[in-house]
Amino acid sequence: MTGVWYGIAAYTLWGLLTLYWRLFPHVPAMQVLGHRIVWSFVVLAAIVAGSWQRRRPALQAVTVRIVALYALAAVLIGANWFLYVFSVNHGFIVESSLGYFMTPLVNVLMGVAVFRERLRPMQWAAVVFACAGVAWLTLAYGTVPRIALALAASFGSYGLVKKKAPLPSLEGLTVETAVLFLPAVLYLAILHRTGEGAFLHAGGATDLLLIAGGVVTVCPLLLFASAVRRVPLSAIGILQYIAPTIQFLLGVFAFREPFTRVQLGGFGLVWLGLAVFTLDSVRPRRSAPFAVVDQAAR
């Protein structure tokens, strides 16, 4: 039962990160991303240093090929982090929640396309419902829900890369942020030199929030890592809907983003697909597509 509470805590924190990124809307999303990478790496490096003897074998076995694999993962998760922060601070919280609701189904499609996994009839039905939901929203508004699809695609692709990655979650994220660390520092240094950077220019409160972005990124990851060691992935697969549900509720009720009956129809089809997918997933199987991956996003 402890593992379930760890999982609930992790996904609740990921959902509530919507509130955190809204605390400094005056800082451009790209700058927030730069600071998130830098301070996340600092926090992760400190954790790794504090438990070096236990984590050394995995990190010492890192090869150029492994670094290249994690560099690709770093680009994908960096894109996902940027899109999420951008959506939160530009009034697309509801649409971003749709992206994370769709992610498990995107993972299933990638499993078919890349690993030649065979879907069961209920899984195909779930995918069809989700696609119908996206088509509904596209036809209703005359535009594709680009942010939702980009979030689902970037995180789904990240999950695909992580499925091939050999390192444990904490060590893997440390390598990913290490790959992005120097480019992020260089980018922030240039902004500081030109006077465009918010850090040290927008007040002490903003500085502290940017620094703490590393902590709020790493904490739910550690809780998630503790959860997956204690509970079945089927349970984690159900718990993962907590975060986008919180995002959705915050977008509609806290930030008053519009949510019309037309949107309800599109979301309803996606939710129906998720319900079918979840019911099928909790049934005992010998194997299943990778619906749950390292939750480094948000």
SS3 labels along the chain:
CHHHHHHHHHHHHHHHHHHHHCCCCCCCHHHHHHHHHHHHHHHHHHHHHHCHHHHHHHHHCCCHHHHHHHHHHHHHHHHHHHHHHHHHHCCCHHHHHHHHHHHHHHHHHHHHHHHCCCCCHHHHHHHHHHHHHHHHHHHHHCCCCHHHHHHHHHHHHHHHHHHHCCCCHHHHHHHHHHHHHHHHHHHHHHHHHHCCCCCCCCCHHHHHHHHHHHHHHHHHHHHHHHHHCCCCHHHHHHHCCHHHHHHHHHHHHHCCCCCCHHHHHHHHHHHHHHHHHHHHHCCCCCCCCCCCCCCCCC
Q: What is the pLDDT of residue 135?
A: 94
Q: Residue 91 carries which side chain, given as an amino acid letter?
A: G
Q: To 10 degrees, the CA torsion angle through 249, 213, 172, 293?
A: 0
- Residue position matching structure tokens 């150029």: 64
Domain spans, the chain = 2-281
What is residue 74's predicted lDDT score, i.e. its pLDDT?
94
pLDDT reported for residue 296: 62
The pLDDT assigned to 227 comes to: 86
Given this model, what pLDDT does residue 222 score?
Answer: 87
- Tens digit of each residue's pLDDT, the chain (298 residues): 788 899 999 999 999 999 999 999 999 999 999 999 999 999 999 999 999 999 999 889 899 999 999 999 999 999 999 999 999 999 999 999 999 999 988 888 888 888 788 888 998 999 999 999 999 999 887 889 999 999 999 998 998 888 888 888 889 999 999 999 999 999 999 999 999 999 999 999 999 999 999 999 999 988 988 887 788 766 777 888 999 999 999 999 999 999 999 899 999 999 999 999 888 877 755 445 555 555 566 7
The model's pTM: 0.90
According to the model, what pLDDT value does residue 289 have? 53
